[in-house]
């Protein structure tokens, strides 16, 4: 949690500093407006940092309002920043050109009919700032609409060559990264219960980051997640946000709701003589700590010839899954990037961002884009989803 907060604070401060330069200093305002602009961006950065840390410690009614304001501003920043950065190559080209201009070639002079070079620079900076602000507001509005829309139903067919015939056609609903908390509550989880019930799944899997807050605050909001009518029940593996929110109390609470928690453990589904292993591990971020990610412990004593599905919050676990000979990994964590173009940056940290992939000769991985959202209620080009995964017998290469 300390590392997470440190990274977020650093990113927020640097982003506000950069945007101050582009939206205040570069526009050549009067001294009065420069002070106002500087105070605005310093105040916004301070509010952002204090709000992201402080809303958890306030009463729910006040905390919800504060979190909404903080995350909406964060979402606008997340869009404004890359759009503004698009202008940097042109600024760089202008600087290079001014330095490379032949010594005998004078810079354009100010006159009645031609503005001076500084005047053109300021006019261009003001025009660019206006276009960036208007474009960011439009993208943010569309992103809010996407985030607050119903999660899309994504049907995925996964062919597994070791799947027993008895489990051919097994329907698994995967939900991930719901992030019940400041801006997602009981109304959303009740709606998920209705949607999932209508799909008549055989099994429901919850692949981490269900909550952002304590059991005391959110117990009523998550209650519907324990009522999915699947014949093989509901299974859960932890994500990094469960660690931030109190992993042990939450796992105990999920068990009390009838959700089977797999913390470096496995659960075997049986139909007659046929068996299918569902393996669950703790979040990758907990590896090396007692009770943290430990796939070896989860598969110890397992019949290695049996087909197995791994619930692993972060896609990073796919290498360990392939080495252990597991057939399918169901992950989340990435949100598909949530706000384009951040999906490209996710690849620096995770092997896959979204969708179904083959990893090695026998292992496949499906990365869920998230059923809710984290932070700002904004999704750009990456809608939320409910994944309906159908397992089919056959050669692994036939998956689509």
Q: What is the pLDDT of residues 257-301, one digit of tens each?
A: 999 999 999 999 999 999 999 999 999 887 777 778 999 999 999
* CA distance linking residue 112 with residue 57, whole number of Å: 61
* CA distance linking residue 264 with residue 324, whole number of Å: 14
Report the predicted TM-score, pTM, of the whole model to 2 decimal places. 0.83
- State the burial class of residue 388 (Cβ atoms within 10 Å of its Cβ: 0-12, 13-18, 19+): middle
Q: What is the mean pLDDT of residues 148-167?
A: 96
pLDDT higher than 80, residue 341: yes
Say what the pLDDT of residue 115 is. 47
Residues 53-73 pLDDT 10s: 777 677 766 777 777 788 888
* CA distance linking residue 151 with residue 285, whole number of Å: 27
How many C-alpha atoms does 297 have within 13 Å on its Cβ side?
14
- Residue whose token pair is 């009065």: 32
Q: Which two tokens stand for residue 270?
A: 């049986």
- Domains in the chain (CATH in brackets) are 2-146 (no CATH), 152-398 (3.60.21.10)
Look at residues 21, 17, 11 and name the one whose alpha carbon lies nearest to residue 342. Answer: 11
pLDDT higher than 70, residue 198: yes
Is 135:143 a contact under the CB 8 Å cutoff?
Answer: no
- pLDDT band with cut points at 50, 70 and 90 for residue 105: low
Residues 361-394 pLDDT 10s: 899 999 999 999 998 889 999 999 999 999 999 8
125-151 burial string, b = 16+ CB within 10 Å, else e? beebbeebeeebeebbeebbebbeeeb
**H helix runs in the chain, sequence order:** 2-23, 31-54, 60-85, 88-100, 117-148, 186-199, 215-222, 240-245, 247-256, 295-299, 318-323, 342-346
Q: Would you give the distance in Å from CA 192 to the centre of its chain?
A: 18
Neighbour tally for 187: CB within 10 Å: 10
* CA distance linking residue 87 with residue 95, whole number of Å: 13
pLDDT higher than 50, residue 113: no
Strand partners, 153: 386
- pLDDT band with cut points at 50, 70 and 90 for residue 76: confident
* CA distance linking residue 152 with residue 161, whole number of Å: 29
Q: Which two tokens stand for residue 243?
A: 């660690």
* CA distance linking residue 187 with residue 38, whole number of Å: 40
Say what the pLDDT of residue 323 is. 95
- pLDDT band with cut points at 50, 70 and 90 for residue 114: very low
The span from the first CA to the last CA of the chain, in angstroms, equals 38
Rounded to 5°, the CA angle 40-86-41 comes to 5
């Amino acid at each position: 949690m300390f590392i997470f907060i440190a990274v977020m604070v650093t990113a927020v401060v640097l982003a506000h500093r950069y945007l101050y330069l582009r939206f205040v200093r570069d526009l050549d305002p009067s001294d009065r407006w420069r002070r106002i602009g500087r105070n605005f961006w310093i105040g916004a950065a301070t509010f952002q940092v204090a709000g992201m840390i402080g809303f958890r410690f306030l009463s729910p009614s006040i905390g919800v309002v504060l979190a909404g304001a903080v995350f909406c501003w964060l979402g606008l920043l997340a869009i404004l920043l890359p759009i503004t950065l698009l202008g940097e190559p042109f600024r760089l080209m202008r600087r290079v050109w001014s330095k490379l201009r032949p010594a005998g070639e004078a810079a354009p002079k100010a006159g009645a009919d031609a503005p001076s070079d500084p005047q053109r620079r300021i006019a261009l900076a003001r025009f660019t700032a206006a276009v960036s602000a208007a474009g960011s507001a439009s993208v943010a509005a569309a992103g809010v609409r996407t985030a607050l829309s119903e999660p899309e139903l994504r049907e995925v067919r996964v062919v597994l060559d070791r799947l027993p015939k008895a489990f051919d056609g097994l329907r698994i609903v995967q939900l991930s990264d719901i992030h019940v908390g400041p801006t997602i509550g009981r109304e959303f989880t009740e709606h998920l219960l209705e949607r999932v019930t209508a799909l008549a799944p055989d099994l429901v899997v919850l692949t981490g980051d269900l909550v952002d807050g304590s059991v005391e605050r959110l117990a009523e909001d998550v209650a519907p997640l324990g009522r999915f009518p699947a014949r093989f029940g509901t299974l859960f593996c932890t994500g990094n946000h469960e660690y931030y929110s109190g992993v042990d109390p939450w796992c105990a609470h999920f068990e009390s709701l009838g959700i089977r928690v797999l913390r470096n453990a496995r659960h075997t589904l049986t139909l007659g003589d046929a068996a299918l292993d569902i393996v669950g591990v703790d979040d990758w971020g907990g590896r090396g700590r007692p009770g943290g990610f430990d796939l070896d412990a989860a598969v110890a004593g397992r019949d290695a010839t049996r087909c197995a599905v791994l619930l692993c919050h972060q896609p990073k676990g796919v290498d360990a899954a392939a080495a252990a000979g597991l057939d399918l990994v169901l992950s989340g964590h990435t949100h598909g990037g949530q706000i384009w173009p951040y999906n490209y940056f996710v690849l620096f940290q995770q092997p896959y961002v979204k969708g179904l992939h083959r990893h090695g000769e026998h292992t496949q991985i499906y990365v869920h884009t998230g059923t809710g959202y984290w932070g700002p209620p904004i999704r750009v080009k990456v809608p939320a989803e409910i994944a309906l995964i159908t397992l089919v017998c056959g050669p692994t290469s036939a998956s689509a």
